[in-house]
Chain A
Amino acid sequence: MHLPEAGQIDDMLADVGLDAEQLFSDVPQPVRRRLDIPEGKPDREVEQEITSTLAENTTVQERPGLLGGGSYDHWIPPETRFLSTRGELLTSYTPYQAEINQGLLQALFEFQTLSARLLELDVANNGLYDGASAAGEACLMALRVGRGTRVLVPEHLPDQRASIVENYVDGAGGTIERIPTDPATGTVDVDALQAMLDDDVGCVHVENPNALGCLEPMDAIGDVTDDAGATFTANVPEVTALGLLHGPGHHGADIATAEGQPLALPPSYGGPSLGLFAARKKHLRKMPGRITGKTEDEDERDAYCLTLQTREQHIRRSRATSNICTNQSFLALMFTVTLGTLGETGFRNMAETNAARARQARQRLAEAGAEIPYADSHHYNEFLFEVPGDRDLFLQRARERGVEAGIPAERVLGHGHDGIVACVTETVPDDAIDTVVETVQEVV
């Protein structure tokens, strides 16, 4: 095997006067247990076994289609994948020793800058587990910086993500309530929101674009929330939208988060993922997560190090702003490489391509006879459509033609809806869209 022979270990211990037999003499007999899992195998057998198991998946490359719903397949530049094999970065840990980890720290500082710029807020951290848990942390932070315990979230916020927010705020006494959806627009009913607001509302939380694919009336939500003295938090579940759309900060959000996976890694069955997190400067010391700051070394050269650590669990313990320790740094790095490679125009054009292709697909589906429930709302790269007759049968027909026509809406939302959530990114082939359109024509 790849480790020194067992005998060498015994010799090594003997050299310092230790008996190898005694290494576990402190473990009482009654709690001793041997492991009972299959014997180890050589690398090549494990490679074969796992590769063939994973081959049982029908991937979105094998059967392309209109799949989104919180996880997005985009073109990841070859630079990103190539640089992701750099062992110095991949096998390092949280950069406690700044002098020997400047590279990683500088990349994280660049990531913070990108996060703040994209979300249009002042300050950002090294990232959190994913967009959804980052949103949970944002709502918890909102209760910490302001008053109140009620957290208002849209009816169309997917149940899983609402549950995450609930788990994060419950310990602080926070409760979740749903803001009605305007059935005409597929967005927050702002009048209804206004009616729910009172002094006990600590936080209004929305997603933009939302899970129905619609763009929320962010300015209006921001205004009524601000007027009521509550904190406005917003999550961007599909970060490429920010190549084209304003960040939540522009619309008055005090804390904003995003799911960064689309620019870091293919879907990978939902993880790893990356939560971007940014806030107004005045809330800096209430932020969760690792933060990198710029400073100098003894020779007055630019330097970076972890900072504001007195917020964190290893110092503040039960009074920390968050329990997070291990985060998703490597994804933050890959995110930064991707945007660096795309550049301003590349990122913008990528976002435009997404929005334009989705728009065209939407129009074609409507012409083919599909119903587009929120046709008058603005969309980015996702939208809802409905077909006459049995939805599952329609989806199966599309599959038989080799494409996924979308995701049944309740699988995205967790609660009832007749529609199909469709997403068009730049990686969806033209002929896959053609096939979905043809399948609609067939059932109409």
Chain B
Amino acid sequence: MPDEDRGFRQAYWDEPTLFDLDEGPQPSDQFPEGADHGLPEDLTREDAGVPTVMRSRVTRHFTRLAQMTYGVDTGTYPLGSCTMKYNAKAAELLAQDEGLLHAHPLQREEDVQGILELLYDLGDRLREIAGLDAVTLQPAAGAQGEFVAMRMVRAYFEDRGELGEDSRCEVVIPDSAHGTNPASAAMAGFDVLEIPSGDDGCVDLSALEDALSERTAAFMLTNPNTLGLFEQNVEKIAEMVHDVGAKLYYDGANLNAILGVTSPGAMGFDLAHFNVHKTFATPHGGGGPGAGPVACTDELEPYLPVPRITRDPEAEPEHRLDWEREDSIGAVRGFHGNVGVLVRAAAYILMHGSDGLADNTRRAVANANYVHQRIKDAYPAPGGDLKKHEFVASAADLEETKGITAKDVAKRLLDHGIHAPQTYWPMVVDEALMIEPTETESREELDAFVDALLSIADEDPETVTSAPHTTALSRVDDVGAARNPILTWDQANDE
């Protein structure tokens, strides 16, 4: 069927669920039967509903499911905003180190100096990378980092008696921002004010001016922005935000574009989160876990979550956990964060160092610009010609002339054995295809990706709109799924 056949065929198994394979309870050879637990019958259950399947079959089950899944280890994954770069395997193995896996979060500080030292050093490097003064490693992902930062901003203004219905109740956000920005600000208790982007795709200074007031608590921004454009007015923006007494927040999702070039601190931001699963190459795990450390200025440091890791080379033990911090916002998740992920990030930063990280950034930006130049006639990207690590191409022309939507292009790319870009976001671009190649794609891979995109633009529309053809399944009915939600095997087999 496909014209431009790269020979890709994803495996398909008509694989039943574990629940279809359930043979009913069988004796287990791993634990003794009938241990004397002494609990009364009214508290204990008859059965937990766990399926019983031969171990060989379980392994085949998940191996087959893996074969019907596509990761960075499989091929190009230009999913914009997600920085799907190669995940360092050394870091992966280090996260399996027994000295980490079997460290317990409530052990005495004396017994966990190793991990505390590693985390402290990581925090130190993140401070330097952010160009800010202090760091917490607790947030489990970028969105939780945003939430922490907004809770901190609230606590800061509350301390100054400035939090109320008419003061510091608003957070301003560009309409091109990621959805987590407004969601985090709202969850933290703020009213959200979204401002329209200018024609150039960047912050419209007059719209910002109009939105800012003594009610503003913070302005949330990512730079380069979600269109992959560097906000060149960032100094002016910082000045405007600070002039009304508000804080400037940096969404670190796009940090891979600026390492060694500039930093959130240098640009005038007061707080920033990192997505270590993006910038520092920790694997995305099919949706997570990641980690979302937050950096801030000294002024905001008292509000960081507890516990804080401290270092005093004179003291014994050298590294401690400080829980007694009066102004802290408290906690947002248990213990100390997604530590296994943080260890991978620490390894990545050690492997690359200053020059390596800066070099990665340069290459990531070069790759994005190369792809942009090669496809821009077929898929124009709004904003200036110079992009950073990503750009947002539009399939609007194709849609108009041939009825091929961004979704169709995305599905058709899968037939080439290439993952689709992010689609329909940011919402400020019609038929958006958000493309972020990352630095770990070779020119050959980039060319294959470009050739696929160009061939799709020239293809007979029917082939494209009926894609994909070579993936495990043909197009999945997501509308039907939402209309009649079936979320469990029991619901599916109840009807």
Contacts and interface: CB of A to CB of B under 8 A. Distances in A.
Contact of B481 (A24, A246, A295, A350): A295
Nearest to B417: A100
B378 interface: no
Contacts of B84: 91, 93
A51 B99 contact: yes
Contacts of B47: 344, 348
Given A3-B440, A378-B40, A93 B141 contact: no
B31 A346 contact: yes
B335 to A, nearest CB: 3
A104 B74 CA distance: 14
A329 B114 contact: no
A282 interface: no
B159 interface: no
Contact of B101 (A16, A83, A266, A323): A266
B473 to A, nearest CB: 4
A270 B337 contact: yes
Contacts, number: 706
Interface string B89-115: 010111011111111111100011111
Interface residues of B, number: 204
Contacts of B490: 113, 116-117
B164 interface: no
- Pick the most buried of A168, A291, A342, A357: most chain B CB atoms within 10 A of its CB: A342
Interface string B321-335: 001000001111111
B97 A50 contact: yes
A6 to B, nearest CB: 7
A118 B410 CA distance: 37
A54 B115 CA distance: 6
Given A47-B93, A61-B98, A171-B186, A160 B287 contact: no
A326 B82 CA distance: 10
Nearest to B487: A123
B43 A246 contact: yes
Contact of B35 (A17, A83, A356): A356
Interface in B60-76: 61-74
A353 interface: yes
A35 B102 contact: no
A304 B65 CA distance: 12
A242 B58 CA distance: 21
B414 A323 contact: no
Nearest to B328: A163
Contact of A294 (B43, B185, B486): B486
A293 B488 CA distance: 8
Given A244-B44, A317-B179, A95 B71 contact: no
A318 B334 contact: no
Contact of A272 (B38, B59, B98, B341): B341
B142 A325 contact: yes
A184 interface: no
A59 B141 contact: no
A114 B363 CA distance: 44
A67 B287 contact: no
B343 A50 contact: yes
A215 B43 contact: yes
A175 interface: no
Nearest to B150: A171
A40 interface: yes
Contact of A167 (B329, B471, B482): B329
Contacts of B414: 97, 99-100
B99 A90 contact: no
B487 A292 contact: yes
Contact of B179 (A314, A355, A404): A314
B235 A28 contact: yes
Contacts of B474: 99, 297-299, 301
B468 to A, nearest CB: 5
Nearest to A43: B90
A195 interface: no
Interface residues of A, number: 200
A346 B87 contact: no
Contact of B142 (A91, A140, A326): A326
A369 to B, nearest CB: 21
Interface in B441-495: 442-443, 466, 468, 471-478, 480-482, 485-492
Contacts of A313: 143, 178-180, 182-183
Contacts of A22: 386
Contact of A6 (B277, B359, B492): B359
Interface in A159-206: 160-161, 163-164, 166-168, 170-173
Nearest to A291: B487
Contact of B106 (A18, A97, A298, A411): A411
B3 interface: no
A296 interface: yes
A103 to B, nearest CB: 3
Contact of A57 (B111, B129, B492): B111
Nearest to B114: A56
A305 interface: yes
Interface in A293-325: 293-299, 301, 303-310, 312-320, 322-325
Contact of B370 (A18, A243, A245, A297): A18
Contacts of B330: 160, 163-164, 166-167
Contact of A83 (B38, B59, B333): B59
B419 A326 contact: no
Interface stretch (A7-15, A226-234, A383-391): A7-15
A359 B33 CA distance: 16
Given A23-B369, A346-B30, A325 B339 contact: no
B51 to A, nearest CB: 7
B58 A79 contact: yes
A359 B37 contact: yes
Interface in A79-120: 79, 81-83, 85-104, 106-110, 112-114, 116-118
A101 B354 contact: no
A172 B189 CA distance: 6
A133 B289 contact: no
B111 to A, nearest CB: 4
B197 interface: no
A414 interface: yes
B336 interface: yes
Q: Which among B30, B38, B143, B265 has the highest number of chain A CB atoms within 10 Å? A: B30
Nearest to A23: B365
Given A90-B283, A268-B339, A349-B28, A46 B350 contact: yes
Contact of B189 (A30, A170, A312): A170
7 closest Cβ contacts across the A-B interface?
A270-B335, A330-B285, A87-B73, A270-B105, A163-B330, A171-B189, A329-B287
25 contacts: A57-B100, A57-B112, A57-B114, A70-B105, A82-B59, A87-B73, A93-B284, A100-B419, A118-B48, A122-B491, A132-B333, A167-B330, A245-B44, A272-B340, A294-B487, A295-B478, A305-B477, A305-B478, A317-B182, A322-B183, A326-B290, A336-B18, A339-B51, A348-B48, A407-B106
Given A284-B487, A328-B288, 7 more contacts: A37-B349, A97-B411, A167-B331, A284-B485, A307-B481, A331-B288, A340-B53
